[in-house]
Chain A
Amino acid sequence: MKIICTRQNLIQGVSTSQRAVSTKNPLPILSGILLTATNNQLELKGTDLEMGIQCIIPCTVQEEGSIVLPAKYLGEIVRRLPDTPIQIETQEGVNVVIRYGQSEITINGFSAEEFPGFPNPQGKNSIIIAEEDLKEHLRQILFATSPDENRPVFTGVLLEAAEGTIKLVATDTHRLALKEINASSELQETNVIIPGKTLNELARVIGAADKNVTISIGDNQIIFGMEDTLFISRLIDGQFPNYRQVVPQGYKTRIRLKTKELLEAVERASLLARVGTQIIRLSIEEEKIIITANTEVGRIHEEVAVYLQGDTMQIAFNALYLIDALRAIGSDDIYLDLSGPLSPGILRPVEGDDYLSLVLPVRTI
Chain B
Amino acid sequence: MTKVILLCDINSFFASVHQALDPGLQGKPVVVGGDPAKRTGIVLAASVEAKKRFGIKTGMTVAEAKARSREVIFVSPSFKEYVKFSTSINKILKDFSDLVEPCSIDESFVDITGCLKILGSPLEIAGKIQGRINNEIGVGVNIGIGPSKLVAKMAAELEKPNKIIPLTLEDWPHKIWPLPVKELFGVGSRIGRWLNQVGVKTIGDLAVLPPDVLKKRYGLIGEVLHHSAQGIDFSPVDPQAMDVVKSVGNQITLPRDYLGFDRIKVVILELAEEVAQRARRAGCLGNRVSLTMKDPNFFTETHSRTLYSYTDITQEIYDEAVFLLQKHWHEEVRVRLVGLTLSGLLRKEETQLNLLVERDKQERIDRATDLIRSRWGQHSIKRAVSLTDCGVYHER
Contact = CB atoms under 8 A, between A and B. Distances in A.
Contacts of A148: 307-308
A276 B308 CA distance: 11
B352 interface: yes
B354 A277 contact: no
Contacts of A361: 353
Contact of B350 (A176, A246, A277): A277
A316 B310 CA distance: 17
Contacts, number: 51
Question: B interface, how many residues as a size bin?
Answer: 10 to 19
Given A147-B308, A150-B319, A150-B320, A365 B352 contact: no
A360 B320 contact: no
Given A150-B319, A173-B355, A363 B308 contact: no
Interface in B319-371: 319-320, 323, 344, 346, 349-356, 359
Interface in A128-168: 146-148, 150
A172 B355 CA distance: 9
A174 B346 contact: no
Contacts of B309: 173-174
B355 A171 contact: yes
A150 B349 contact: no
Given A150-B319, A150-B323, A172-B308, A318 B349 contact: no
Contacts of A147: 308
Contacts of A173: 309, 354-356, 359
A107 interface: no
A318 B352 contact: yes
B322 to A, nearest CB: 10
Nearest to A321: B352
A342 interface: yes
Contact of A362 (B319, B350, B356): B350
A279 interface: yes
A147 B307 CA distance: 10
A134 to B, nearest CB: 26
A241 interface: yes
A241 B355 CA distance: 9
A246 B346 contact: no
A277 B352 CA distance: 9
Interface in A348-365: 360-365
Contacts of A172: 308
A362 B308 contact: no
Contact of B346 (A276, A316, A342): A276
Chain A to chain B: the 7 pairs with minimum beta-carbon distance, closest first: A360-B353, A148-B308, A363-B351, A362-B350, A173-B355, A364-B350, A246-B355
Interface of B: 287, 307-310, 319-320, 323, 344, 346, 349-356, 359
Interface of A: 146-148, 150, 171-174, 176, 241, 246, 276-277, 279, 316, 318, 342, 344, 360-365
